[in-house]
Amino acid sequence: MSSTPQITDSHCHLDFPDFEGETEAIVARAAAAGVGRMVTICTRFASLDRVRAIAEAHAGVFFAAGIHPMSVAEAAPVTVDDLVALARHPKLVGIGETGLDYHYSAESAPQQQESLRVHIAAARETGLPLIIHARAADEDMARILAEEYRNGAYGCVMHCFSSGAGLARAALDLGFYLSMSGIAAFPKSTELRSIFAAAPSDRILVETDAPYLAPPPHRGRRNEPAYVVNTARVGAELLEMSYEAFAALTEANFERLFTRAARPGGEG
């Protein structure tokens, strides 16, 4: 067994063209860095076969599926039954990413909200965690998450969290998780780091959102799952913990939320 602390990249996009022909090498580099698990995200059903195949080919790779809010205007509407059917696959560990993005796609806000509610219903029915993308939509996001929670509990992670303290508190009050991406490691992200520092430590995950948002010292270049270690080191400093303790903490948090993502060669 490796002495390298194990950690999970809870959100990446291994099917994106940025990684074409390099999946094996990327997974190997991640494993060498201690990143033994990763969740690769399908953002539109046209990509589903490719995303699923990547997860099936690698013991430590799991997947989630949904319709990204920036794609809802052009994609066929997804149904609860569609998502529940996908959840029969043993390596499908989450529903999404879904959510609201008013920064780039405000004109499709009504469709985004309807799609979000469909994904929430599927998360509730399957018991799998919801994966949320939120940008420039804090008020509507907080309102819908709370309204839907009153209709029935569900688990959720606010992926690549970079919204305000109000949405963070609303999510945490519902028992949800905040995921720390490379943005939290950027020098100017002081306010965001303060949000993570104030959050319950048992509600923090780490991710890359690769190929985007590479943390220092890789900022400005293509991100990849191995670099989640760099973000996690910033998280450890923020919580005044050793890297080993922070890695163990986020592993426990990940397994509590993503209950289906068993460790390769063992139990979750």
* Per-residue pLDDT at 147 exceeds 50: yes
Q: One-letter amino acid identity for 58?
A: H
What's the total number of domains in the chain? 1
Listed residue (226, 216, 193) closest to 4, CA to CA: 226
Question: What is the C-alpha to C-alpha distance for residues 196 and 203, in angstroms, rounded to an integer?
Answer: 9
Whether 265 maps to a domain, the answer reads: no
Q: Show the 3-state SS of 77-121.
A: CCCHHHHHHHCCCCCEEEEEEEEEEHHHHHHHHHHHHHHHHHHHH
Whether 119 maps to a domain, the answer reads: yes
Domain that holds residue 66: 7-257
For residue range 152-175, what is the model confidence (pLDDT) as tens digits?
A: 999 999 999 999 999 999 999 999
Q: Provide the token pair at 254.
A: 């990940």
Whether 114 maps to a domain, the answer reads: yes
32 by Cβ neighbours in 10 Å (0-12 / 13-18 / 19+) ranks as: exposed
* Per-residue pLDDT at 77 exceeds 90: no
According to DSSP, the β-strands at 204-206 and 130-135 are unpaired
More confident residue, 268 or 32: 32
CA atoms within 13 A of residue 27's CA, in its CB half-sphere: 20
Question: What is the C-alpha to C-alpha distance for residues 228 and 26, in angstroms, rounded to an integer?
Answer: 13
Residue 202 parent element (H or E): none
The CATH number of the domain holding residue 195 is 3.20.20.140
Whether 268 maps to a domain, the answer reads: no
For residue range 199-217, what is the model confidence (pLDDT) as tens digits?
A: 999 999 999 999 999 999 9
Whether 121 maps to a domain, the answer reads: yes
Whether 262 maps to a domain, the answer reads: no
How high is the mean pLDDT of the chain?
A: 95
Question: What is the C-alpha to C-alpha distance for residues 195 and 209, in angstroms, rounded to an integer?
Answer: 19
According to DSSP, the β-strands at 204-206 and 61-65 are unpaired
Whether 60 maps to a domain, the answer reads: yes
Q: Per-residue confidence at 264, pLDDT binned at 50, 70, 90?
A: low
Q: What is the pTM of this model?
A: 0.95
Q: Per-residue confidence at 76, pLDDT binned at 50, 70, 90?
A: confident
Listed residue (170, 167, 147, 156) closest to 122, CA to CA: 156
Q: Per-residue confidence at 100, pLDDT binned at 50, 70, 90?
A: very high
pLDDT of residue 2: 53
For residue range 12-50, what is the model confidence (pLDDT) as tens digits?
A: 999 999 999 999 999 999 999 999 999 999 999 999 999
pLDDT of residue 246: 98
